[in-house]
Structure 1
Amino acid sequence: MASMVAMTGLPPSMGLHCTLASRRHASLATLPAYLAQDVAAKSQLEAASLQIKTSTRRVPQQAVSDAASLSQTDVETFESDEDEVLPTPVVIIDQDSDPDATVVELSFGNRLGALLDTMQALKELGLNVERSRITVEGSVTCKRFSITRADNGRKIEDPELLEAIRLTIINNMIEYHPESSSLLAMGNAFGIQAPTELDVDIATHIRITDEGPHESLLYVETADRPGLLREIVKVITEINVAFRSGEFDTEGLVAKAKFHVSYRGAALSKPMKQVLTNCFQYYLRRPETNVDSY
């Protein structure tokens, strides 16, 4: 047999494999049909088992949102899978859809679990979760729930509480989905991996359009940071502009706010639009200064 291997130019191990394979096929020909099928099926199973055992690729585990915290193995799995494109985490606080409740939408691709931890955190803020539903659009699963104040059963109007709701949801997402920390501004303080910083001057956009004679629509897009919703409301109220909360979206590192505003019961005039735009350009783009430096 060695001489035959040498003549064919094959390595000894490959020649032995070919010889054994030919013997097996020859033996199958001499067996009854039903036994030959069993032996052939067994050979296919052995080959599949060998292929699985020799594969070294690790499949990333999906994070779940439940009471159990993620293990270090899960975190390492997420960090090691560099080829996977992470979805953009989105948190939407909607004040327009429901006149009796504040609507919150949360999505992170199809990674979100039952959100029991988030529901519990909102209850600790003195809120009730009235309704909840799940919608699926392509590969994105969106969790939508309506919340009210536990003390009076009404929708949330206080900007401080709205910002607390937003930050609570984002903190929970980072805790139970640590791979999202590099995609959220809050990940810089609480996440495992800090996000890439955005240039605030580039990220900030302000647009004001009229919605009839009595109201204008203010649109603000800027780099997200803790307390941003509270800052935007403060800028509006300090120049005596009345507002009705519209929608505040957190999309990864970018925050997008839509507010219905008016001045003395009418839509904003051109000079008032310019004043409001200038205020936002100053407050949202100013560099952070340490008070102790003065």
Structure 2
Amino acid sequence: MLLAAGPSHTLGSQNVSRVPIFAPSSHSAIPATAAALSADGAPTIVRQVASPALVPRQPVLEVKIDNQRDAFATIVSIEYGDRLGDMLETILSLKALKLNIKRAKISGRDRGVHRFYLTDDMGEKIVKSSRLEEIRLTILSSIERLHPDASDQLAWGTGGAHRGAATLRDGMAPLGVRKSGVTTQIEIREVENGLYSELVVHTVDRPGLLTDIVRILKDISLNVVSAEVDTIGSAAFDKFNVTYHGEPLDEPMQQLAINALQYYLSQMELDKEWCESY
């Protein structure tokens, strides 16, 4: 705590004395305040300053689904600063999907990542795209219920995850409200082992996105070997290991896949915007 004192000064027609200025420490959220005593001894606030550095920033919600790191389980990683707690509601939601949590790592640190190792009711990894999407939306929904302000980060807005999870099995997942700021980018990379190609899609997230991408790839006869699904705020960053007739994609097939995804993803957004405006 800093203390500043000095001689009296005249402000207008009143004599005031400089009194202590209380400056916050680096860990305090209390703004610095300067006060003055008027001639009759009554305190008068003359200045109040709040440093932008002291305003807490909302953490970015991240949900990542990895089917490559572990040979026997699907790994779900969740990060939301220090707001996750013990995640009991999320665990119960996953159990309601008839999933087995083989093990979990619940971190108590402020920037900890909570990880769940999941299998289906047969003890196998979850590989079906619709099932992975259901898990993703269920997790986002449970976090949104506990932390309503998290919906501000989600591309479809408040309530969209709930409706998406409820209607996913019917193939009618809502597209919700798109927020600007994320540009669709599609890239295909060569993998060192030469067994498949890695397809990377970075776009605006929405319920049903994963199943739509897999459907588009199947429509052009590509096989999805595995997937990693990352949701970071309003953006989706998805990776797919794909083959064409058991082989990595050659240049013509790479271009076909990129064109198909760019076209259909843009069409879906146009259809959504038309429906919302109508």
TM-score of the alignment, normalized to the shorter chain, above 0.5 = yes
Structure 1 residue 97 and structure 2 residue 69: aligned? yes
**Structure 1 residues 1-294: aligned runs within 5 Å:** 83-135=55-107, 139-150=110-121, 152-190=122-160, 197-198=179-180, 203-211=183-191, 212-286=193-267, 287-289=270-272
Which protein shows a greater Rg? 1
RMSD of aligned residue pairs (Cα, Å): 3.2
Deviation at 1:187, TM superposition (A): 2.9
Quick one: which amino acid aligns to residue 238 of structure 1?
D
Per-residue displacement from partner, 1:135-189 (whole Å, max 9, x unpaired)?
A: 578x411100101112x11111111111010000000111101121111124343
Deviation at 1:196, TM superposition (A): 7.5
Quick one: which amino acid aligns to residue 173 of structure 1?
I
Structure 1, unaligned stretches of length 5 or more?
1-7, 15-55, 59-81
CA 1:110–1:292: 2 relative to 1, 3 Å: closer
Per-residue displacement from partner, 1:257-280 (whole Å, max 9, x unpaired)?
A: 111111112110111001000011
Quick one: which amino acid aligns to residue 183 of structure 1?
Q
Please give the secondary structure, in 2, of the residue aligned with 1:140. coil
CA 1:123–1:136: 2 relative to 1, 3 Å: closer
Deviation at 1:94, TM superposition (A): 0.5
Aligned pairs, number: 218
Deviation at 1:250, TM superposition (A): 0.1
Structure 2, unaligned stretches of length 5 or more?
1-7, 18-28, 32-53, 162-175
Matched-pair contact (CA < 8 Å) for 2:137–2:207 = yes
Deviation at 1:84, TM superposition (A): 2.5
Structure 1 stretches of 4+ moved >4 Å: 8-14, 289-294
Deviation at 1:291, TM superposition (A): 7.2
Cα distance between partner residues in 2 of 1:196 and 1:109: 24
CA 1:107–1:213: 2 relative to 1, 3 Å: closer
CA 1:285–1:292: 2 relative to 1, 3 Å: closer
Deviation at 1:12, TM superposition (A): 11
Deviation at 1:292, TM superposition (A): 11
Quick one: which amino acid aligns to residue 189 of structure 2?
T
Cα distance between partner residues in 1 of 2:67 and 2:225: 9
Please give the secondary structure, in 2, of the residue aligned with 1:131. strand
Identity %: 36
Question: Higher strand proportion, which one?
Answer: 2
Deviation at 1:190, TM superposition (A): 4.8
Please give the secondary structure, in 2, of the residue aligned with 1:167. helix
Cα distance between partner residues in 2 of 1:247 and 1:145: 15
Please give the secondary structure, in 1, of the residue aligned with 2:127. coil
Question: Higher helix proportion, which one?
Answer: 1
Matched-pair contact (CA < 8 Å) for 2:160–2:207 = no
Cα distance between partner residues in 2 of 1:9 and 1:269: 81
Cα distance between partner residues in 2 of 1:236 and 1:155: 21
Matched-pair contact (CA < 8 Å) for 1:174–1:187 = no
Cα distance between partner residues in 1 of 2:67 and 2:179: 29
Per-residue displacement from partner, 1:17-46 (whole Å, max 9, x unpaired)?
A: xxxxxxxxxxxxxxxxxxxxxxxxxxxxxx
Length-normalised TM-score, structure 1: 0.66
Cα distance between partner residues in 2 of 1:179 and 1:57: 23
Length-normalised TM-score, structure 2: 0.70
What is aligned with 1:32?
A: none
Deviation at 1:293, TM superposition (A): 11
Deviation at 1:83, TM superposition (A): 3.4
